[in-house]
Chain A
Amino acid sequence: MATGELAAHGAHAHAAPTSWIRKYVFSLDHKVIGIQYFFLALTAVFVGMFLSLLMRIHLIWPGVSLPIFGEIQPATYLSLLTMHGTIMVFFVLTTAPQGGFGNYFLPIQIGAPDMAFPVLNMLSFWVTALAFGVMIAAFFVVGGAPLHGWTGYPPLSALQAAGPGEGLGADLWITSIALFCIGALMSALNFITTTLDMRTKGMTLMRMPLTCWAWFITAILGLLAFGVLLSAGILLLLDRNAGTSFYIPLVTINGQLAGHKGGSPLLWQHLFWFFGHPEVYIAILPAMGLCSQLLSVFSRKPIFGYKAMVYALLSIGFLGFMVWGHHMFMSGMSPYTAFAFSVMTMAIGVPSAIKTFNWLSTIWKGRIRFASPMLFALGFVSLFVSGGISGPFLAQPVLDIQLHDTYFVIGHFHLIMGVASIFGMFAATYYWFPKMFGRMMSEGMARWHFLITLIGTYAIFMPMHYLGMAGHLRRYSQLTELNYLHPLVGVQTFMTYAAFVTIGGQFIFLFNLFWSMKFGKRASDNPWEATTLEWITATPPPHDNFGGHIPVVFNGPYEYSVPGAPRDFVMQTDPPLVLKAH
């Protein structure tokens, strides 16, 4: 096996490029590609955040005229929410944790010189970047961006006459998603192969850091989910442009026959959510892996229940494919099916709870260092709990009757899939920035960024639960029409102010990021005194990651505060631990 692994290493090594274009643009180096993904996601997150700010402004000051944009119309509001959701889910939550940090650190953490397929890796990035360009283009075509929401339910999304933005804008939206799927599929193949074939000597599966487990399982989810979404998207494009009727039954729009018959709108929902629910885990699993890692590193304690954590990740991945119907309790799907999906959904709460117990037990009796990555990891646990406990409400169809399509859902998924995942990304940025850019980020700015973001996001998303209980529906561009919404406008106003402050706080992060690249304190090779392989190599790592030598692993990834050891951490490559107790 050892020879096989070494042969694999040899086959994937490639010479360092010399031209600027091959080094920074069309690079085959997983580290450069990781940084490219990171900056793509960073651009996307600021675009997505800006769109949400426009939405929040429109909700409470519908008539206000903004500089450049003018007055936001109801149609524009719906386009904003569609594009906000799509950009955030695909180009931020899927792109940064996996494409960005996974690309950069998976090979290093398993002791490989690069990903298994460097050319495929480069292609995945550029296809994803192209997809982003196509998505943004939807804003600038006649009719503007589509208004059908990020879930794009047909017939609304399938018929040009159904609303503004459902013309070329909608075609571009679907094309972009299809391209994104192609990029994600190529990337998933690469991650799976790399994890299985490229581990260095001694790096058994059960010695992999939980980050690698998370990226690996995320890639498997991606491989199974994005293929289905790609097919679903192609069928929708055919319905729109080739006269097919996969999703469109006999309908009239404003009295005019649409010219289709026999299709099923529910087919799209099944295909979309077969992707859509695993997608939630694609967004959150890398954050779970990373935060497990950070809680251990900064508590100076082994992770509590490593095996339980691995099994929990695996069962979340497995069950994640059996719960998609909980998005469809009110869709007209059979109520018996709804009950089955409901049981599976409640079951997936169990591994999530196991992880929370293990996180709390990891910091219990630790020696916690409050460095910026740790702050965000602790914030992640808080948000994961807060976003998680609203899950069992929505998972029960009886309660979903009242809560479905209300702000309760928006609060739920923003806390857990949005903000918790983003806390994972912030933690990753603060943690790995020194390795990626050779300098430390400012801890002072990071603390302010952390406090503003934690308090701010709770202030935005917690009140949404109250609104949802009161029956406040999502995707309403004006709050004037339903009488029972009137008493709730004050809460919306509060949330808009909270959004201003929180978004303002993100500029501290942006400034810290670029300022520290140039002026940050120089980073040592292992500034956090962590044990995994990225910390044994130079900062930043050389082209082949380990400077011509192949690391050999003897220890697990979380050996902190080992009794009798000379320092409070034992690197994975240190001589094997022989513990008296064992």
Chain B
Amino acid sequence: MGLVLLVVIWLITFISAYFFIAKTWWLPVGASAAAAGIDHHFGTTYLLMGFVFVAAQVLLGLFAWQYRDRGSAGKPALYSHGNNTLEITWTVLTAVLFIGLNFMSSSIWASERFRPAVSNAVQVEVTGMQFAWYFRYPGPDGKFGATKPELQDPSAGSEGAIGLDTTDPASKDDVVAGVMYVPVNREIEVILRAEDVIHSFFIPAMRFKQDAVPGIAIHMHFTPITTGDYEVACSQLCGLGHYKMHGILRVVSQKDFDEWLAAREAEKQ
């Protein structure tokens, strides 16, 4: 049975490790400024943890087989209650490894979340509701108009859905869209809101995820560096249609973005 265990544990280990090493399934291709740093740290963690995984499983299988009860021919078991030097060594080593990893990644976290968006960032307000995302741009005045919960009417779509108060002068030039247009290589400030329950705004290619919580406006930022269409998903269970609450992030050149926004403004007039 010792040999069976060795074979089974080693096979499980090597097959599992193979798919990680071969990258058969892997992180989606990154398209934001932060992606490279995050992926690099993912790689570092993955190498270290992969080593621990393989080493521990290989030893487990090996010991199970090597130290099986060989009947009267075998050596008696070692009578030992432990070894304090070893205990201290591996405690210190794992503490340094684990907490060190954490501090290595802290600067990326700080630049993602501690720092507010730069002052010339492109502002987009993202509103989640069962089961759609709406994207609002403040228009030339740079100000978002007021919204009111009692005006929210999802069946009306866009402006009506987010409850835009059209009597507020600041709301006159607000553009509400069902697709998130952003210019490439510009920092995007995302202001996340939710109307009903908690949603979560997830753009895998941008390494961006943040819950949208009713009652709070959460300010976040990211910088897309490659043009193209990217899928947006809801990653927090929000009800019956959770699985189909998705959207599109369309990263375009600054010129295309300006033209798109101008066209939407023109439609409003």
A contacts, CB < 8 Å to B: 74-75, 78, 147-149, 153-156, 159, 162-164, 249-255, 257-258, 263-266, 299-308, 330-332, 335-336, 338-339, 342-343, 346-347, 349-350, 353-354, 356-358, 360-361, 363-370, 375, 378, 381-382, 385-386, 389-390, 392-393, 395-399, 401-402, 404-406, 447, 451, 454-455, 458, 462-463, 465-467, 469-471, 473, 475-479, 481-484, 488, 491, 558, 560-563, 568
Contact of B57 among A75, A302, A308, A385 (CB under 8 A): A385
B98 adjacent to A349 (CB under 8 Å): yes
A140, B83: Cα distance in complex, Å: 57
By Cβ-Cβ distance, the 9 closest A-B pairs, closest first, are: A249-B215, A335-B113, A305-B82, A466-B25, A471-B204, A370-B1, A365-B78, A561-B77, A163-B239
A404, B38: Cα distance in complex, Å: 14
B87 adjacent to A301 (CB under 8 Å): no
Minimum Cβ distance to chain A for residue B55 (Å): 9
Q: List 23 A-B contacts (CB under 8 A).
A: A148-B237, A155-B196, A155-B198, A156-B197, A159-B197, A164-B240, A252-B149, A255-B152, A303-B81, A336-B114, A338-B113, A354-B94, A361-B86, A392-B98, A396-B109, A401-B112, A402-B27, A402-B204, A405-B235, A451-B4, A458-B16, A462-B12, A484-B204
- Check B118 for interface membership: any CB of A closer than 8 A: no
Residues of B within 8 A of A266 (CB): 213
Residues of B within 8 A of A360 (CB): 56, 59-60, 63
Residues of A within 8 A of B155 (CB): 255
Closest residue of chain B to A384 (Cβ to Cβ) is B56
One digit per residue, 1 when the CB lies within 8 angstroms of any chain A CB and 0 when it does not, for chain B 238-251 equals 11111110100000
A257-B150 CB under 8 A given contacts A370-B68, A398-B112, A470-B25 = yes
B153 adjacent to A255 (CB under 8 Å): yes
A354, B82: Cα distance in complex, Å: 12
Contact of B53 among A365, A385, A475, A479 (CB under 8 A): A385
A405 adjacent to B200 (CB under 8 Å): yes
B77 adjacent to A560 (CB under 8 Å): yes
Minimum Cβ distance to chain A for residue B261 (Å): 26
Residues of A within 8 A of B80 (CB): 301-302, 304, 365
A399 adjacent to B45 (CB under 8 Å): yes
One digit per residue, 1 when the CB lies within 8 angstroms of any chain A CB and 0 when it does not, for chain B 190-213 equals 000001111010101001111101
A378-B38 CB under 8 A given contacts A155-B198, A332-B213, A481-B243 = no
Closest residue of chain B to A472 (Cβ to Cβ) is B25
Minimum Cβ distance to chain A for residue B170 (Å): 21
A401 adjacent to B207 (CB under 8 Å): yes
Minimum Cβ distance to chain A for residue B11 (Å): 9
Residues of A within 8 A of B27 (CB): 402, 469-471
A564, B180: Cα distance in complex, Å: 78
Other A-B pairs beyond A396-B41, A458-B16, 7, CB < 8 Å: A301-B79, A346-B99, A358-B87, A364-B63, A365-B67, A397-B113, A561-B76
Minimum Cβ distance to chain B for residue A474 (Å): 8
- Check B8 for interface membership: any CB of A closer than 8 A: yes
A347, B97: Cα distance in complex, Å: 10
Closest residue of chain B to A336 (Cβ to Cβ) is B114
A367, B78: Cα distance in complex, Å: 9
Minimum Cβ distance to chain A for residue B231 (Å): 6
Closest residue of chain B to A256 (Cβ to Cβ) is B152
A405, B214: Cα distance in complex, Å: 19
Residues of B within 8 A of A346 (CB): 98-99, 101-102
A398 adjacent to B8 (CB under 8 Å): no
Contact of A302 among B79, B153, B231 (CB under 8 A): B79
Find the residue from A339, A358, A395, A471 having the highest chain B CB count within 10 A.
A471
